[in-house]
């Protein structure tokens, strides 16, 4: 049995075990370059839901990806084909492909802008008074420039709309494409018949501003760096594998279990594995928030994302690809960023009304103005402007832009949001309930004062071999002691740890096992030492309780201890209410009672006996040091293991909700102003394109504006 280095070292292994056991994580990811609205989300998810080999699919509009849960290693080709039949272009997720898609948009944007400016120059001449043959000549030149440019530059809209119609559905690109085609067609008809007006400049302006909006949205989405992107950036793309003593460069995708990897000082650990060198110091702050370097001994676990501080060293791969801790955390973060709260559902319902409403309004505008004026061309122009101005792109961006910013900032603050609806529920919490033992307090063993340096070394080595909370606390108390080299280390369930050092037997465990009256004891050879045990507050516990109360949250304390002991601990914490002698079912019942009274309860716990309460509560948080069952049950995990970021998480969630509501307000105000203007004939197709793009950009900027979510 290998000896565990320290609590920080075991954190990586605990995270790996927890994530490996999570059967709700996606197994595949596809890139969807042409999705941009709520209807696209629904269309993609519905198309994938009909496939028998897919358990679940969730679209992240901000990242233009769909996370799919299916059999690991399954071929995604049938899924890509099914999406193509439904009108959606899909590829296996690749960063380079995404950048290529952005370059394609930029090329089309540049061509549309160049063509638009040249056609506008010709239009100036017409507006200045050119008539008859001169006017017709300028119109034909404008047609020669505008028509090829519109066909090429508006191709993303045309192909998306055509795919949707082939699948017998509508998306927002259908009316956009219709508006561009009608504007070009009407202009060509006017040119061919010698009419006084042509709208090639409006068609190109529409295309240009729509493309500009798409490009800006893509850029700003990338500016809202996601937690998944931050985690993915930790993974090196190539590694050095040792083969017959030679270092062979390989892609990380080609690393297999059992491969020996060579890591230089400063290198990022690419996969989970075990150290094959004597010792190494690593920085694990990116994954666990552990600020101090951690010492890892031979045979102990290295976690993907660790930074090797002393090297070079070698390691053996034990979990690769999607099974590694880092990949699992990436998937959890991406899943959280694709959150679809009740606000998203509201956007879904609003967007479902879009197609019949916008086409109905456009038809009504055309019929009404035709009847009122008898001018079919003027009526058609107003219908085109109505089609353009009513596009609800802003509505589709209202939630994902904010969710991406919020989860990214929370992650960088050491908070991993792992539930899809956690942000919404955290924002509505009004009461906080803490488990005491392990969450707010920690039992601590104090080493006997009369131990020699050699005995302290043996004691630390025994403590390192156990994951028991008391052993982890003892390791922290012996931080400056170097552990001894022990043989035949093994843990006796329910008793303690047994090892040998030469012919000497060493044991650490329950006092009864070692012949003492009770408590915890340490034996080396014939000598047995009793261990003094006390309970202390975890760092930041009292400050966290006080800060939550300052923010207006009543704080309850739950514990299985006696009322006397619970009161003594609460004298240091200052919680509003203390509930003692609580069994697991009592904790669950108390939270249910609070929620029946109308409260939205946040439960914070770390033990197996807290799992029922964590799942009962409206929202739940587990420290990074919590047991696997608690972390799986919680909506949010504090990666650093401390409570100091709890108040920040609640504050960010509330501000995120306000930003979402503000975005809905912006979209509603835009529609309240723009639609009457279009129906009244006061908005040309050019003004309609400007208004629609501006609304989409304003919603995204509102999510990203400086200081919006701190």
Measured CA distances, 293 to 7, 281, 289 (Å): 12, 6, 11
Whether the link from the prior residue into 312 is cis, omega within 30° of 0, is yes
Phi, psi angle pair for 408, to nearest 5°: -65, -45
DSSP one-letter string for 602-661: EEE--SGGGHHHHHHSSEEEEETTS-HHHHHH-SEEETTS-STTHHHHHHHHHHHHHHHH
Contact 4, 467 (CB under 8 A): yes
185 contact partners, CB below 8 Å, separation of at least 6: none
Task: Count, in order, helices (H) and strands (E) of the chain.
Answer: 25, 26
DSSP one-letter string for 49-87: HTSTTEEEEEEETTTTEEEEEESTT---HHHHHHHHHTT
Measured CA distances, 353 to 229, 275, 360 (Å): 34, 58, 11
What is the spatial distance between Cα 648 and Cα 540, in angstroms, rounded to a whole number?
13
Shortest CA distance to 681 belongs to which of 378, 311, 407? 378
List alpha helices for 490-540, DSSP H. none
What is the spatial distance between Cα 256 and Cα 249, in angstroms, rounded to a whole number?
13
**3-state class of 516 per DSSP?**
coil
In the 8-state DSSP scheme, what is residue 252?
G
Q: Which helix (H) or strand (E) holds 664?
A: helix 646-679
456 contact partners, CB below 8 Å, separation of at least 6: 447, 478, 481
Q: Which helix (H) or strand (E) holds 586?
A: helix 584-596
**Identified catalytic residue from 173, 435, 561, 610:** 435
565-572, Cβ contacts within 8 angstroms, sequence gap of 24 or more: 566/436, 569/436, 569/440, 569/441, 569/535, 569/537, 572/537, 572/542
Does the annotation count 435 as an active-site position? yes
Facing residues of 260 across strands?
316
Q: Which helix (H) or strand (E) holds 536?
A: strand 527-537
Contact 416, 637 (CB under 8 A): yes
What is the spatial distance between Cα 133 and Cα 154, in angstroms, rounded to a whole number?
30
* Angle made by CA atoms 653, 656, 662, in degrees to the nearest 5: 150
Contact 635, 621 (CB under 8 A): yes
What is the spatial distance between Cα 83 and Cα 89, in angstroms, rounded to a whole number?
7
Phi, psi angle pair for 53, to nearest 5°: -90, 5
Q: Which residues are catalytic?
A: 435
């Amino acid at each position: 049995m290998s000896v565990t280095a320290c609590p920080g070292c075991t954190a990586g292994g605990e995270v790996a075990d927890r994530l490996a056991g999570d059967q709700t994580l996606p197994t595949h990811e596809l890139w969807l370059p042409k999705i941009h609205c709520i209807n696209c989300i629904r269309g993609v998810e519905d198309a994938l839901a009909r496939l028998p080999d897919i358990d679940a699919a969730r679209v992240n509009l901000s990242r233009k990806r769909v996370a799919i849960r299916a059999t690991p290693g399954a071929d995604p080709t049938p899924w890509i084909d099914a999406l193509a039949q439904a009108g959606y272009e899909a590829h296996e997720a690749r960063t380079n492909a995404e950048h290529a898609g952005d370059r394609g948009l930029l090329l089309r944007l540049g061509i549309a802008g160049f063509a638009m400016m040249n056609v506008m120059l010709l239009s100036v001449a017409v507006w200045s008074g050119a008539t008859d043959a001169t006017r017709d000549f300028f119109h034909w030149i404008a047609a020669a420039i505008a028509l090829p440019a519109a066909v090429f530059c508006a191709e993303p809209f045309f192909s998306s709309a055509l795919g949707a119609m082939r699948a017998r559905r509508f998306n927002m690109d259908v009316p956009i494409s219709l508006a561009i085609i009608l504007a070009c067609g009407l202009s060509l008809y006017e040119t061919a018949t010698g009419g006084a007006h042509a709208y090639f400049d409006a068609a190109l302006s529409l295309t240009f501003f729509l493309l500009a909006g798409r490009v800006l949205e893509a850029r700003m989405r990338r500016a809202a760096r996601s937690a998944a992107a931050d985690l993915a950036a930790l993974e090196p793309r190539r590694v050095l594998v040792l083969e017959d003593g030679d270092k062979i460069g390989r892609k990380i995708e080609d690393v297999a279990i059992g491969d020996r990897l060579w890591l230089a000082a400063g290198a990022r650990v690419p996969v989970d594995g075990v150290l094959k060198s004597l010792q190494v110091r690593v920085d694990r702050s990116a994954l666990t928030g552990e600020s101090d370097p951690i010492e890892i001994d031979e045979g102990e676990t290295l976690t993907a994302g660790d930074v090797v501080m002393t090297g070079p060293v070698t390691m053996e791969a034990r979990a690769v690809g999607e099974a590694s801790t880092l990949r699992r955390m990436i998937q959890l973060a991406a899943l959280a960023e694709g959150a679809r709260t009740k606000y998203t559902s509201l956007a879904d319902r609003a967007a479902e009304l879009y197609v019949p409403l916008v086409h109905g309004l456009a038809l009504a505008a055309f019929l009404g103005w035709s009847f009122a004026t008898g001018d079919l061309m003027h009526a058609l122009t107003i219908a085109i402007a109505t089609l353009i101005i009513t596009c609800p792109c802003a509505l589709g961006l209202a939630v994902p832009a904010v969710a991406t910013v919020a989860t990214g900032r929370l992650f960088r603050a050491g908070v991993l949001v792992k539930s899809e609806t956690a942000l919404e529920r955290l924002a509505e919490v009004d009461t906080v309930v803490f488990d005491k033992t392990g969450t707010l307090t920690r039992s601590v063993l104090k080493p006997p004062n009369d131990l020699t340096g050699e005995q302290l070394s043996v004691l630390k080595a025994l403590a390192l071999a156990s994951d028991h909370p008391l052993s982890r606390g003892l390791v922290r108390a012996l931080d400056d002691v170097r552990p001894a080299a022990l043989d035949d280390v093994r843990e006796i369930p329910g008793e303690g740890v047994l090892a040998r050092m030469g012919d000497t037997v060493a044991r650490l465990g329950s006092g009864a096992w070692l012949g003492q009256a009770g408590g915890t004891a340490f034996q080396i050879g014939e000598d047995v030492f009793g261990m003094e045990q006390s309970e202390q507050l975890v760092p930041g516990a009292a400050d966290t309780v006080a800060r939550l109360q300052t923010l207006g949250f009543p704080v309850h304390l739950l514990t299985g201890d006696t009322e006397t002991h619970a009161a003594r601990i609460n004298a240091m914490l200052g919680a509003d209410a203390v509930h003692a002698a609580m069994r697991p079912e009592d904790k669950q019942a108390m939270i249910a009672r609070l929620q029946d009274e109308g409260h939205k309860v946040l439960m914070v716990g770390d033990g197996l006996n807290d799992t029922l309460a964590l799942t009962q509560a409206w929202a739940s948080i587990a420290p990074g040091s919590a047991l696997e069952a608690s972390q799986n049950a919680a909506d949010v995990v504090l990666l650093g293991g401390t409570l100091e970021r709890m108040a920040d998480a609640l504050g960010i969630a509330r501000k995120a909700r306000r930003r979402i509501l503000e975005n809905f307000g912006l979209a509603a105000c835009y529609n309240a102003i723009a639609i009457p203007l279009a129906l009244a004939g006061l908005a040309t197709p050019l003004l309609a394109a400007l208004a629609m793009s501006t609304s989409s950009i304003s919603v995204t900027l509102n999510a990203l504006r400086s200081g919006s979510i701190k």
